[in-house]
Each structure stands twice: as structure tokens, then as C-alpha cells.
């Protein structure tokens, strides 16, 4: 009991707050079809541009108002959490796995491995990212998968660079020599000794990347290059809301708040995880 209390005290508010928001969003993403008050796709032009519940002129049941096609903003907001999360996790993990793997190999083995991978990263990073992602998405049929691919293909270099630097720093430490003296194979040394020390950096980067992925998806759906169906996304809601900002500001504001909070929560969650679980910081 005392131990549990101690753990709770040690975990700062950062982890709790960000974790709670993310759990909330995750639940929204998973259970959207069940918990939405209205069908996010249902249009009713009679109920277009209704304000949120606390403002006069609203209709009961449409808590955050409706958009120009009469669709419930709250329902769309909730169901938009799903594509956001799918992209965040998919693109984040893909970029992380590819970039970290190459970064570890390049930083640890050095020599030709490092030279080849570094040159690839240098060349890759020379391409303008936004252009590249638009090209990629336009090339494949716009869908969540193409968005995930586009983000991962560009952002893996960020992981690679940082992980390479961290790995190189750890490689200089005597405990790596010690592992060699023990007789541990080089690959085993990399995975068992060095990786745990690079993991905090990877964790923070991964959470940041998830936040970035959500924003990129929002940008792409703002310019209509994300999912092509009526599936609500925060980006497309913002695009729509921008057009009617003077008549129905709520259509723009709420998805922006949701976007902001989600990106913030991702980055703080990573930092919070590092604080909580890194033995060196205890």
C-alpha cells in the first residue's frame, strides 16, 4: 500500500494529465461509433450552423453546435480522433523503428555502415519534406495508409540522426568495452547494453513524432489530400470552419483545441515517461 502511494507521489502531474487526455482520445477513437450522440455523417440542412449549447439559438442535443451541413460538431470531433490516432501510432512507430534501427547500426558499428547510412540520410533530407509528402500522397490513392507512409518516409531521418548521435556517445563509455571484454558479441552489446541507454531519447522522440504526425495529417486533410471519404478529420473540419468563421466560429475552434491538446499531450507524455521510468533520474 505504501509502495503504491509512493509510486503515485513520484509520478508527476505531467504524466497523469497528458496520459489522461491521450486515454480519453484513445477511447474516443476506439468507441466512436458507439458513443457519438449523432451520426457524424448525417446531414440536416435545417439544422445547419447551430451554435453550441450555452449560446442562445442552439438546439438541445447538439452540444458543440453543427456545421454548415447540419452535422453535429461533437460527434465529428469524437470520430475524428480515430484517423488522428491511427496516423499518430502508425506513422510514429514506422518512422521510429526504421530510423532508430539505422541510427543504432550506424552509430555503433561506424565505418562503412555509418558512411553509407549517413550519406543516405543527408541525401534524403535534401528533399523538401512537404513537397515530398504531397507528391507521395498524390501518387498513391489518398488514404490513411498513404498518409502514414508519407510521414514515415520523411521523418525517419530525424530518428536516425538523433539515435546515431546518442549511440556514438554511449559507444565511447567503458561499460561497452567491458561487455566486449566479457565476450559479448557486438550485436548483443548493442542490443543489451547500449539500447537501454538510448531508449530514453527514442521515447521522447517517438512521442514528439506522434504529435507531429497528427499535425501533418491535419495539414494534409486541410488540403484534401488525406482520406477521401466523408470520414471526419480535425484537419478537414478546420478547413471547413475557416470558410464560415464569421457565421459559425465553433466549427473551427473545437477541432483546433482538440488538435492542440492532443499534440501537447503526446509530447508531454514522452517526457513524463522518461521522468517516471528512467532509473538514472530517480
d(CA 208, CA 263): 8
Residue 175 engages another protein in binding (rule: CB under 8 A): yes
d(CA 11, CA 269): 12
Which one, of 211, 97, 217, lies nearest residue 159 by Cα? Answer: 97
Q: Which is nearer to another protein, 39 or 177 (CB)?
A: 177
Residue 184 engages another protein in binding (rule: CB under 8 A): yes
Residue 182 engages another protein in binding (rule: CB under 8 A): yes
d(CA 72, CA 106): 50
Q: Which is nearer to another protein, 34 or 172 (CB)?
A: 172
User: Least distance to another protein from the beta carbon of 165, Å?
Assistant: 17
| The length of the chain, given as a count of residues | 282
User: Least distance to another protein from the beta carbon of 171, Å?
Assistant: 11
User: Least distance to another protein from the beta carbon of 223, Å?
Assistant: 44
User: What are 66's strand-pairing partners?
Assistant: 72
Cβ neighbors of 33 (< 8 A, separation 6 or more) are: 79
Residue 168 engages another protein in binding (rule: CB under 8 A): no
Q: Which is nearer to another protein, 49 or 171 (CB)?
A: 171
Helix (H, G, I), strand (E, B) or coil at 195: helix
Q: Which is nearer to another protein, 96 or 198 (CB)?
A: 198
Interacting residues with another protein between 107 and 126 (CB under 8 A): none
Q: Looking at 43, 68, 197, 267, which residue binds another protein (CB under 8 A)?
A: 197
Size of the site for another protein (CB under 8 A): 20
Q: Angle CA(140)–CA(146)–CA(148) in degrees, nearest 5?
A: 160
- Residues 61-100, one symbol each (x = binds another protein by CB under 8 A, - = not), give ----------------------------------------
Residue 267 engages another protein in binding (rule: CB under 8 A): no
Handedness of CA 149, 90, 29, 251 (dihedral sign): negative
Grid cell, residue 268, equals 508531454
d(CA 213, CA 218): 8
Grid cell, residue 58, equals 442552439
Residue 3 engages another protein in binding (rule: CB under 8 A): no
d(CA 182, CA 49): 71
d(CA 195, CA 97): 13
User: Least distance to another protein from the beta carbon of 189, Å?
Assistant: 10
Q: Tell how far CA 197 is from the center of its chain.
A: 23
Q: What are phi and psi of 223, to 5 degrees?
A: -95, 20
- Residues 18-47, one symbol each (x = binds another protein by CB under 8 A, - = not), give ------------------------------
User: Least distance to another protein from the beta carbon of 129, Å?
Assistant: 30
Q: Looking at 155, 193, 217, 240, which residue binds another protein (CB under 8 A)?
A: 193
Q: Which is nearer to another protein, 37 or 110 (CB)?
A: 110
Interface positions with another protein (CB under 8 A): 172-175, 177-184, 193, 196-197, 199, 278-280, 282
Amino acid at each position: 500500500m505504501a509502495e503504491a502511494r509512493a509510486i503515485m507521489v513520484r509520478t508527476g502531474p505531467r504524466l497523469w494529465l497528458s496520459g489522461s487526455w491521450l486515454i480519453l482520445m484513445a477511447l474516443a477513437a476506439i468507441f466512436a461509433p458507439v458513443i457519438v450522440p449523432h451520426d457524424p455523417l448525417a446531414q440536416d440542412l435545417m439544422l445547419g450552423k447551430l451554435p453550441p449549447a450555452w449560446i442562445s439559438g442552439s438546439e438541445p442535443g447538439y452540444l458543440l453546435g453543427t456545421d454548415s451541413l447540419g452535422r453535429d460538431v461533437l460527434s465529428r470531433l469524437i470520430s475524428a480522433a480515430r484517423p488522428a490516432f491511427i496516423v499518430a501510432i502508425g506513422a510514429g512507430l514506422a518512422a521510429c523503428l526504421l530510423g532508430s534501427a539505422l541510427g543504432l547500426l550506424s552509430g555503433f558499428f561506424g565505418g562503412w555502415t555509418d558512411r553509407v547510412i549517413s550519406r543516405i540520410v543527408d541525401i534524403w533530407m535534401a528533399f523538401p519534406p512537404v513537397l515530398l509528402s504531397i507528391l507521395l500522397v498524390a501518387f498513391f490513392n489518398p488514404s490513411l495508409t498513404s498518409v502514414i507512409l508519407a510521414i514515415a518516409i520523411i521523418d525517419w531521418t530525424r530518428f536516425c540522426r538523433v539515435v546515431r548521435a546518442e549511440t556514438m556517445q554511449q559507444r565511447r563509455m567503458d561499460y561497452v568495452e567491458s561487455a566486449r571484454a566479457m565476450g559479448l558479441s557486438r550485436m548483443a552489446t548493442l542490443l543489451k547494453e547500449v539500447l537501454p541507454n538510448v531508449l530514453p531519447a527514442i521515447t521522447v522522440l517517438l512521442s514528439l513524432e506522434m504529435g507531429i504526425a497528427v499535425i501533418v495529417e491535419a495539414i494534409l486533410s486541410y488540403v484534401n489530400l488525406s482520406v477521401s471519404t466523408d470520414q471526419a478529420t480535425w484537419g478537414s473540419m478546420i478547413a471547413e470552419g475557416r470558410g464560415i468563421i464569421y457565421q459559425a466560429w465553433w466549427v473551427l475552434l473545437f477541432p483546433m483545441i482538440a488538435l492542440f491538446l492532443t499534440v501537447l499531450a503526446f509530447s508531454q507524455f514522452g517526457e513524463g515517461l522518461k521522468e517516471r521510468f528512467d532509473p538514472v533520474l530517480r
